[in-house]
Chain A
Amino acid sequence: MNPYILAILLFGLGLGTTITFASSHWLLAWMGLEMNTLAIIPLMAQHHHPRAVEATTKYFLTQAAAAATLLFASITNAWLTGQWEIQQITHPLPTTMITLALALKIGLAPLHAWLPEVLQGLDLTTGLILSTWQKLAPFALILQIQPSNSTTLIILGLASTLIGGWGGLNQTQLRKILAYSSIAHLGWMILILQFSPSITLLTLLTYLIMTSSTFLVFKLNKATIINTLATSWAKAPALTALTPLILLSLGGLPPLTGFMPKWLILQELTKQGLAPTATLAALSALLSLYFYLRLSYTMTLTISPNSLLGTTPWRLPSTQLTYPLAISTAMTLCLLPLTPAISALLIP
């Protein structure tokens, strides 16, 4: 793509999230979200093949519908209460509409159906932007609204973790696996929202780091299906050895970073007297763990039958920057001992 156009689009992406972060007025927050949607559309369609255009169209339609619902809800709130402050929404009708609109924006179940198909049609870099950067602005709004209906949020959370787990079990395409993994993690984030928004923020940040690592590993291996991962041991042996740890961190196993949010969430849910909810969420994490384990199994723990030529490929220097991968992998594996410091930093 023309570098000037790319610069303008990336600037628009950055500006959109910044505007939503900095706004206290619903209209300005909506403008930021729309700018994000608009700026990523050409990035998604840049390869100009029909699958990418289909993914772009689906993304545009769902995000535009969500933004329109958000605008409608803020106008309804302005009609009912006369003010546009983001943190002052108290009427239950606009609050519920805004929650559902933002759930459609980020891909929470039962409004998740677009995410696997959209992510499947994109290349891994754009998919990375979609899974990480595009979640920041809606979450900035989610963290600020006072949730009115406890049941809605818990249902959204549990449905997302269960659907994210079950949906990912039958996938062989890596981007769809990552989409369902995203849905499951978003479910965990929403589950704890009404009890402790700082834990939601912590979960979001750790998820961003872990999923960046995963996307970058797949990008380095140029892998979009599980079979490609099976031959990565000969191309990048050190990375192949580390990737199971990254995947298990995504699955939430101690002593890796991914355990931190799950531990804090289960603890908080139990303290609030929701032990059955916590049990159900923990059991649903087993479903996701199964497909992370499947990826580790095919990638590292076994060497699949292959021809002799597959054992000695040329190990040419990669043109991809490995510095971001190194940083995110280190953070994905080693941040658990810093749990007290991180939770202290994120409590407002």
Chain B
Amino acid sequence: MVYVMFMFLFGLVLGLAAVASNPSPYFAALGLVAVAGMGCGVLVGHGGSFLSLVLFLIYLGGMLVVFAYSAALAAEPYPEGWGSWPVLGVMVAYLVGVCVAAGLFWGGWYEGAWVSADEFAEFSVFRGDVGGVALMYSAGGGVLVLGAWVLLLTLFVVLELTRGLGRGALRAV
């Protein structure tokens, strides 16, 4: 199990380096999918199955899909993946940096850092992540309303910024 978690984390860092190495948006979106997927795997392994499911559905299935379609609209004639030298060079540089950081911080706090969200595993219905969702709707009601208001504000902001099609400030390519 620890080995599976380690592989997920390894894939996460690899995906992060893949996104940060500045490829074309198509490939960066692929990197994001990998990162989110690995992160969900780590979450599941530590008891947050509901949170992981919601992340898959909403983030990957909703927002990333929209981003991928928008990236497809801004099509490049010569997209740069990880096969081209500028991108590969940056990715190798980031991975070397990760290895240096790993060498510096090796050992010490890692063993005790993974605390489960809850300890009852298969015996409890009230898991850590689902309990958090319940709290969000009860004690955190005010901030939830605030969050919903901010999302509505963001909608108006985006609509105002993209108003005007070809004559507006941000034009469709």
Q: Which residues of A contact B (CB under 8 A)?
A: 1, 5, 8-9, 12, 15, 19, 27-28, 31, 34-35, 38-39, 41-42, 45-46, 48-49, 52-53
Contacts and interface: CB of A to CB of B under 8 A. Distances in A.
Contacts of A48: 164, 168-169
Contacts, number: 43
Interface stretch (B55-63, B71-79, B120-128, B152-160): B152-160
Nearest to A53: B169
Nearest to A48: B169
A5 B163 CA distance: 12
B153 A8 contact: yes
B153 A38 contact: yes
Contacts of A9: 153, 156-157, 160
A7 to B, nearest CB: 10
Interface in B19-67: none
Contacts of A5: 156, 160
Please name the 4 residue pairs, one residue from A and one from B, whose CB atoms are nearest each other, closest first. Answer: A42-B160, A48-B169, A53-B169, A12-B153
Contact of A34 (B150, B156, B160, B168): B150
Nearest to B152: A8
A278 B27 CA distance: 55
A48 B167 CA distance: 9
A35 B170 contact: no
Interface residues of B, number: 15
A97 B159 CA distance: 34
Contacts of A27: 143
Given A28-B143, A34-B150, A35-B150, A45 B156 contact: no
Main secondary structure of the interface of A (DSSP, over half): helix
Contacts of B168: 48
B146 interface: yes
Contacts of A46: 160
B161 interface: yes
Interface of B: 143, 146-147, 149-150, 153-154, 156-157, 160-161, 164, 168-170
A49 B167 CA distance: 10
B51 to A, nearest CB: 17
Given A19-B146, A52-B169, A45 B161 contact: yes
26 contacts: A5-B156, A5-B160, A8-B153, A8-B156, A9-B153, A9-B157, A19-B146, A27-B143, A31-B143, A31-B146, A31-B147, A34-B150, A35-B153, A38-B154, A38-B157, A39-B153, A41-B157, A42-B156, A42-B157, A42-B161, A45-B161, A45-B169, A46-B160, A48-B168, A49-B169, A53-B170
B161 A41 contact: yes
A340 B150 CA distance: 42
B136 to A, nearest CB: 13
B61 to A, nearest CB: 25
Contact of B157 (A15, A39, A49, A52): A39
B93 to A, nearest CB: 22
Contacts of A19: 146
B164 to A, nearest CB: 7
Nearest to B168: A48
A47 to B, nearest CB: 8
Contacts of A49: 169
Contacts of B147: 31
A58 to B, nearest CB: 14
